[in-house]
Structure 1
Amino acid sequence: MVTVSDASISAEIPVIDISPFIAGEKGSAEVVRAVETACRNLGFLLVTGHGVPVETTARLYNTARAFFDEPQEWKVMQGRGTGEVGGMAFSPIADEALAATMGLKTPGDFKESLNYGPRLAGDAWPDRPAGLEAAFHEYFGAMEVLSGHMRRIFCSAIGLAPDYFEKEFVDHLSALRVINYPEQHVDPEPGQLRAGVHTDYGFMTILRSEASAGGLQVRNREGEWLDAPSIDGAYVINIGDAFMRWTNDEWVSTPHRVANPPSGYGGTARRQSIPFFLNPSKDTVIECLPAYAGAGAKYEPITYGDYIKLKTSQAFGKG
């Protein structure tokens, strides 16, 4: 069954149960239609019935939180090298300014993050907390499975063979990140957000989010900022820039941000999220799919490696 949440909960962001598609049951076509509509209209949706074990998510959430609870002077010495493929990278508070990828000049984002990808450069994993590396690997594997389901749904929506994109993900450059948004005990700098307005770079993002004061906001086509709902067990999924280019901008990569807690907020506003960025392989050529080329392609073909290099350099102030 395809379910769309009550408007008071999620406004224009639909919640879709994808279990019929995964199981190959009656209702698969309705799942495909609902996903396609969401991707064309907003580029954001929430999915339930995904099959990701609760224990896998909890293990990563808890071990990463233990890392973030370590003393700051120890944390900033971790994960700063790039000599180990598949290692861990740590980005301290204000190290990244995502709004720069949209040409906006802002202070660094008020967040810190742990980052991992099996084919991405990092540093040696820290010796504490115990089980951190294993938790990342386990969750990454679960996201590979879920992203495979979503690729097949996308292919069905476009009229492609179910395995059309699989060759592009043989040596994929996907990344898993756990982000800590600390309490804000002092006012942020002018223009500083927990995460500045941006679009994601790759094929799609699968986000485990949580309710907090100061959370994910999505900008619809009317320019309104929608608060993304936090529904227990659901994942937020959004289209990335690379896939929008593949569809000649017919599927939307939507600007989003993470807002600050209200000024003077008296409750707990700490927030932790887990985004999985599904990215194709470095040599994958991003070019208009034939199904969307009727009026001519808007973009010249580009390899994903060249595209991600440009975006990353902008975010970290190197471009």
Structure 2
Amino acid sequence: MNRVNGTPVLPVISLAQLIARKPEAVAQLHDACVHDGFFYLVEHDLSAELIKRYLSAAQAFFALPESVKQRFGHHRQLGYPRTARGYVAAYGETLHPDAGPDNKQHLDWGIDRCGGAPFSGPSVLPDKHVAPDLNASAYALQDEVMEHLFPNLRRAIATALALPPHAFDAHFRRPTLIQRASYYPANSGTAGKHTDNGFLTVLIQQPLPQPSLRVHTRGEWRDVPCLEGAVLVNLGDLLQRWTNGRLVSTAHQVLHRQPDARVSLAFFIYPDIDASISPIGGGQSFSTAEVMLDNFDSIWVRKQGAGRARQLV
């Protein structure tokens, strides 16, 4: 088990070694995906300066008056579903029904495409006069994640499954993305127990002295501290279903009790919205659209939480 400051944490995996197809790195990835569903990713080539800019710009946005932020709320969005983009105030989202509404704010982006498909945009977001550098840094980091990190990681996962490296590629010609900046207030920020719904999530945590993220892995809840230079990756329900349960989507939550506020940056990545997916090894096919729309309906309409929240106690 890898350790940070004496605290047991998740596996630490090098994307550079995965790209080079180092057997030990591929084996480590396979073990993490089968048993943990969460891991630190290092040597990923995301710009540290760009991450710093994005975190700073997000902090400045969340510090704006609520009346300003509400100008970019769900009721102002133009795409479908409206809940896929824009600003949500504290206690506006419930990730686990028993825990109640989460004490966090968030702002969602996506990949803006015309054509009217679900989860495609356009987005109504604060411009540079309201939130300097926010969109510029957000979209720039989106490009780095979606054009370099994710394709290489996706192919490494295929290799770890003993599939051809490009086995998943046909379903990611125009991938779907929910990109989120979240704000957790000092001493009381929360996000209820849930699983992520997509293929995988890339998560960047603001570096703080004590962990706020908790992950249920290998039979126990573990606090997950920040690791300098690393991003976190966790697998989603769609990938678990795609692999017939061979790879695991892991429950997690946020309990933020530190004296400073916390900002995190997440990229929830899905296949093409019109993709029809046949599980590896057999089973009923399913579509990206039905998976995403059902999850958003569960969160925002049925109020039953995110992912497999209803199965978590």
- TM-score normalised by the chain length of structure 1: 0.84
Question: In the TM superposition, what is the alpha-carbon distance from 1:146 to its structure 2 partner?
Answer: 0.5
Question: In the TM superposition, what is the alpha-carbon distance from 1:167 to its structure 2 partner?
Answer: 1.9
Equivalent runs, 1:270-285 vs 2, <5 Å: 270-285=261-276
* 1:149 aligned residue (147, 152, 155): 152
Change (3 A) 1:307 1:9: farther
Equivalent runs, 1:205-244 vs 2, <5 Å: 205-210=201-206, 211=208, 213=210, 215-222=212-219, 224-244=220-240
1:108 alignment counterpart: 101
Residue 245 of structure 1 pairs with residue 248 of structure 2:
no
Equivalent runs, 1:34-73 vs 2, <5 Å: 34-73=28-67
Partners of 2:28 and 2:16 in 1: how far apart?
13
Partners of 1:42 and 1:194 in 2: how far apart?
22
For 1:270, the aligned partner's letter is A
Equivalent runs, 1:150-169 vs 2, <5 Å: 150-169=153-172
Partners of 2:242 and 2:47 in 1: how far apart?
31
Asked if structure 1 preserves the Cα contact closer than 8 Å seen for 2:212 and 2:225, the reply is: no
For 2:294, the aligned partner's letter is L
Partners of 1:269 and 1:63 in 2: how far apart?
17
* 1:117 aligned residue (97, 100, 110): 110
For 1:219, the aligned partner's letter is H
Partners of 2:221 and 2:157 in 1: how far apart?
26
1:312 alignment counterpart: 296
Question: In the TM superposition, what is the alpha-carbon distance from 1:91 to its structure 2 partner?
Answer: 1.3
Q: Find the residue that maps to 2:297 and give its secondary structure.
A: helix
Residue 176 of structure 1 pairs with residue 171 of structure 2:
no
Partners of 2:211 and 2:48 in 1: how far apart?
24
* 1:130 aligned residue (129, 132, 136): 132
Equivalent runs, 1:183-222 vs 2, <5 Å: 183-184=186-187, 194-210=190-206, 211=208, 213=210, 215-222=212-219
Q: Find the residue that maps to 1:183 and give its secondary structure.
A: coil
For 2:287, the aligned partner's letter is T
**1:249-304, Cα deviation, whole Å (9 max, x unpaired):** 1111010000141xxxxx623111111111111121233113xx5xxx4xx32111
Question: In the TM superposition, what is the alpha-carbon distance from 1:35 to its structure 2 partner?
Answer: 0.7
2:116 alignment counterpart: none
Q: Find the residue that maps to 1:178 and give its secondary structure.
A: strand
Partners of 2:169 and 2:126 in 1: how far apart?
30
Partners of 1:216 and 1:97 in 2: how far apart?
17
Which sits farther off after the overlay, 238-247 or 68-77? Answer: 68-77
User: Percent of aligned pairs with the same residue?
Assistant: 26
Question: In the TM superposition, what is the alpha-carbon distance from 1:183 to its structure 2 partner?
Answer: 1.9
Change (3 A) 1:158 1:214: closer
Asked if structure 2 preserves the Cα contact closer than 8 Å seen for 1:213 and 1:269, the reply is: no
Partners of 1:106 and 1:136 in 2: how far apart?
30
* 1:301 aligned residue (271, 278, 285): 285
Residue 82 of structure 1 pairs with residue 77 of structure 2:
yes
1:264 alignment counterpart: none
For 1:313, the aligned partner's letter is D
**1:198-232, Cα deviation, whole Å (9 max, x unpaired):** 0000000011013355611001242x210012111
Partners of 2:244 and 2:143 in 1: how far apart?
30
2:306 alignment counterpart: none
Q: Find the residue that maps to 1:159 and give its secondary structure.
A: coil
Q: How many residues align?
A: 289
Q: Find the residue that maps to 2:245 and give its secondary structure.
A: coil
